[in-house]
Amino acid sequence: MGNVASQIEEKLKTAFAPDYLEVIDESFLHAGHGGARPEGETHFRVIVVATAFEGASRLERQRRVMDVLSEELDGPVHALAIRARTPDEHKS
């Protein structure tokens, strides 16, 4: 796991204490596209399962994740796909 991925993971763990967290670097899928860098770590997918999302809409959950990762989104991260779910939603 690279530096950016590690930062994303640590920030999401701290903010949401997730039951499940996966940070996937998908930069290799975007090589040669806008925002891609040769060294990667520009395009990510995160799956976050946390009770902190209970009662929040899908849009609010995504906003919360983006707020936590605002520094990365202003810098090295060009694209971020987010799946933010509650533990009950993750089971189904």
Q: pTM, whole model, 2 decimals?
A: 0.86
Average pLDDT for the chain: 88
User: E strands, the chain, where?
Assistant: 20-25, 43-49, 79-85
% of the chain beyond a pLDDT of 70: 84
CATH of the domain at 26: 3.30.300.90
Res 35: pLDDT? 53
Letter for the amino acid at 48?
A: V
Tell me the mean pLDDT in the region 65-74.
97
Q: In which residue are the tokens 């995160």 written? A: 46
Band of the pLDDT at 1, cuts 50, 70, 90?
low
- Residue 84 — φ and ψ, nearest 5°? -115, 120
Reported as a single tens digit per residue, the pLDDT across 76-86 is 898 899 999 99
> Which residue range forms the structural domain that includes residue 54?
3-91
Domains of the chain: total: 1
